[in-house]
Chains A and B, each alone.
Chain A
Amino acid sequence: MNDLVIGMAGAGGDGIVSAGESLIGALAKEGYFAILTKSFGSQIRGGESSCRLRVATVPVANPGGVLDVAVALNWDDFLRFGGELPVGERTVVIYEQKTGVAPDALPLGSVEPAVSLAVPIEELARKTAGTQQAKNSVVLGLLAGWFGLPREGILAGLRRKLAAKGDAVLQGNERAFAAGLDYAAAQPLGSEYRLDPPHATATRRIVTDGNEMCAQAALFAGCTFFGGYPITPATEIMQHLQRDIWKHGGVVLQGEDEIASIAAAVGASFAGKKAMTATSGPGLSLKTEVLGLASVAELPLVCVDVQRGGPSTGMPTKREQADLFAAAFSAHGDSVRPILAPTGVADTFAVTVEAFNIAERYQTPVIVLSDQEIAQRKEVIEAVDLTRFEVLDRLVPTAAELEGYTRFRLTDSGISPISHPGMKGGNYLAAGIEHDEHGAPTASGGMHARMNDKRLNKLNPLKDRRDLFMIEGDADATIGLISWGSVAGIALEALRTARSEGLEVKLLVPTLIYPVAEEIYREFFASLRQCLVIEQSHQGQLHRLIRMWVDVPDNFASLAQSGANPIAPSDVVARIRGMARQPVRTSRRHPNDLMNTL
């Protein structure tokens, strides 16, 4: 096998997630690519926990669909994850024998997995390590034995992890691991289940997650102020920056609330520093007023929204892409905030740097719409090549421009040089209230219209940024896919599968979600007879957003699914096959036309 998806679940404290982390570390060192996602109940401690690990010999774009291997330490906890850990006919199921479930009577409804293996996991742990806490090491041994995962690397990882716990604990876990290996060797599984060796590799790999990449990118881009408030699943961004930002002469302020956090960031931006805040949906709702302020005062700001299930408290630990409307429309008045969406862990670095560049270049707040999955999943990626990135700074007034300085001068580009306190001659009034070119408050309708023109039109060049759109597939295809954020990786895999079956299809992935780049969509639509927008929200928010600005093909369909359970690539492939089987009539009658003929 060159691509293996393992899903494991147990009770909190069983060490399931820890086992996943040991595995991904070992696989990365060996030269594999991998993605690890973790999922928990919303309990603070205890409760159920799970992880899924996808390992492959080539880069993978998503955590995979149906499991190749399922590990259940107990069935109640495993089943709580439902569609997050889907078992299919090709799955090998490994489970705790102590559950007393017969291999031919697994509680999986009508699904009959390929192989069912009841293993005395707890008993092996107790026998070898003297404690059931070594269950996860037994599981690691089983997986290494049956699927050919790198045993030396896993052992080395275990040793590092347990070094602080003393020799007795370490040796117990080593014995537990060996017991797992022996058990697997005694009950061999077919060689078709063994993972292929990794391709020879010369590149440097790191294991990281989206939130860490976001924080690192902010530092790289020159961010020296972060205002934040703890919120799942965005908190790690603040934690990473809290550790490192001081070394760059920066500050992290944990505000008393979400509003104070973004307000302080806007203050820092006014003071001439690159500033960021990060939150999730409930925090975005609160930050809205200050986002509007940054738009009208033309202050650069990066606001990261790591989306989670909503509305309101929703599902804090689960993935969803349903904050798009809030990000685009939540502030009152005529304002446009650029929205960028990363599609994966490595991409989060690139997108965050770009967000700072756009914010500084255009003097605007920019929203980065990440989501729980890419923010918190661990992924093996190539080390970031920093020479690929340019860092832009804001346009400051020249000495000549500081003579009779005009902060909001109406320029052709709509961008006027911005001063900051401390800059002699640059003194001006920043304001949420409408203002004239000098910053003086005004109630003139004419000036309001000109300032709206300035603030909105200055962003138009973004719509020509073709580098913020990925198009893959057959250029003249009549079937098109559009997807964004973490779901784009699922769409990409579906596209490749469909094309390998001989279907002609192409995929558009926008990094720039808003403003809507009408021309780029129009060009993509030109050859299309059918189009499917794939995303993780009940309403299909991107699907609807595009329709607000662009004339779409007749058959512009939506594959929109509420959050938590991942969309399976196979479901997308099935939709593509369906579209290919039923070519649409070109002159489809619109229901309104029918009404008119009655």
Chain B
Amino acid sequence: MISPEQACTCGPAPAAYTAKDFRSNLKPIWCPGCGDYGVAAAIYRALAAIGRPPHEIAFVSGIGCSSRIPGYTTAYGFNSVHGRALPIAQGIKLARPELLVLVAGGDGDGFSIGGGHVPHAVRRNIDLTYIVMDNQIYGLTKGQVSPTSARGTKTPTSVYGSMEEPVNPLLYTLAYGAGFVAQGVPADLDGLTAIIEEAIRYPGFSFVNIQSPCVSFGDAENQVKSQKVRMRKLAAEGHDSANRIRAMELAQEYGQTLYTGVFYRNPNPPPTFDRQVRELQDQLQPARERSQAPGH
């Protein structure tokens, strides 16, 4: 359970926001049938449930199909450069800790070019939510092998099949020490909405991996429709989300078993970086006057 003082991102009592209030009038570039539409819908609904006004939300992304998502919301968006969404978002949160900060991107953006930033975002534990739309392919550049592609995946840049083991985003973030790790699918919109809302409410770094199939370049067998059949809800499996070791065992089935729900939520969230910053500032202020010259 999250105690009231830990649930610091909720802000004032939910206002009368609906999902529509968070959808911008930009038309997505995504292909018809893309999983990302469902992700966007779940984010709108989760934000409506949280109830923070759009101008108090900063939504940061890198580059890729899914990284277009901030532009499709009414929040302050930052569609930055490839792989750098996490550090930019951390700068925003530290500069204005009162904001609700979301980060989103694809598996290439997060676990390949930006992969070096993930462990540090996790261990720094700044209160933000990182959503990865994991489709196991580079879609925007038209279908190259990605860090989460299964071994043997054939693409124009792995003509004879990928020779590498894929990254396991769930196991990685758990091993790095993330306090909140979950997985969702657009096929289960209600479930995905609930996961995202819970992630946002978690006081600290939270990670949501979303299996968001690529309709144009992805595995034809692995599309939104089939997710409904394959998905297994962790809650229904009796998983205790406070059990980190069990969460890691389940996470090892990434790529084989499509678990959805919360793998792990730290029942005793450690202090966030941003909270420690505020405490240090309070302790060391009041600031010296600006008019004080060096050497005086």
Q: Which residues of A contact B (CB under 8 A)?
A: 204, 206, 208, 212-213, 216, 220, 222, 224-225, 227, 246-251, 253, 255-257, 259-261, 263-273, 275, 289-290, 292-293, 297, 349, 383-386, 391, 420-433, 439-441
Contact = CB atoms under 8 A, between A and B. Distances in A.
Given A263-B87, A424-B53, A441-B71, A270 B78 contact: yes
B238 interface: no
Contact of A265 (B77, B91, B291): B91
6 contacts: A213-B294, A270-B91, A293-B84, A383-B294, A384-B293, A431-B71
B55 A424 contact: yes
Interface string B55-99: 111101001000010110011111111001011111111111011
Given A290-B81, A421-B58, 7 more contacts: A225-B91, A247-B287, A271-B96, A383-B294, A429-B79, A430-B80, A431-B79
B74 A427 contact: yes
A426 to B, nearest CB: 7
A272 B285 CA distance: 21
Nearest to B126: A253
Contacts of B90: 253, 260, 264, 267
A425 B95 CA distance: 20
A266 B77 contact: no
B286 to A, nearest CB: 8
Most buried by B among A224, A248, A261, A275: A248
Most buried by A among B55, B91, B96: B91
B91 A268 contact: yes
Nearest to A222: B290
Contacts of B60: 267
Contacts of A246: 277, 280-281, 283-285
Interface in B14-68: 26, 53-58, 60, 63, 68
B87 A430 contact: no
Contacts of B56: 421-422
Nearest to B100: A421
Contacts of B283: 246
A206 B294 contact: yes
B103 to A, nearest CB: 10
A283 to B, nearest CB: 14
Contact of A271 (B84, B92, B280, B295): B92
Given A421-B55, A427-B55, A429-B78, A267 B281 contact: no
A30 B194 CA distance: 71
A421 B60 CA distance: 12
A185 B120 CA distance: 62
Contacts of B84: 259-260, 263, 289-290, 293
Contacts of B76: 270, 420-421, 426-428, 430
B161 interface: no
A341 B117 CA distance: 32
Chain B contact-residue range equals 35 or more
Given A267-B92, A273-B95, A432-B81, A259 B293 contact: no
B258 to A, nearest CB: 32
A428 to B, nearest CB: 7
A224 B95 contact: yes
Given A204-B295, A251-B95, A256 B54 contact: no
Nearest to B84: A263
A423 B91 CA distance: 18
Nearest to A402: B55
Contact of A440 (B71, B92, B280): B71
Given A256-B116, A429-B70, A432-B63, A227 B92 contact: no
Given A249-B281, A264-B94, A428-B77, A383 B68 contact: no
B26 A440 contact: yes
B181 to A, nearest CB: 20
A220 B98 CA distance: 25
A253 B91 contact: yes
Contact of B80 (A265, A424, A432): A432
Contact of B94 (A268, A272, A424): A268
Contacts of A224: 95
Contacts of A423: 55
B274 to A, nearest CB: 9
Closest 6 CB pairs of A and B: A267-B91, A264-B91, A206-B295, A263-B87, A268-B95, A260-B87
A250 B99 CA distance: 16
B285 A249 contact: yes
B41 to A, nearest CB: 19
B81 A293 contact: yes
Given A267-B78, A386-B291, A430-B79, A422 B96 contact: yes
A256 B98 CA distance: 24
B6 to A, nearest CB: 22
A189 to B, nearest CB: 35
Contacts of A349: 294
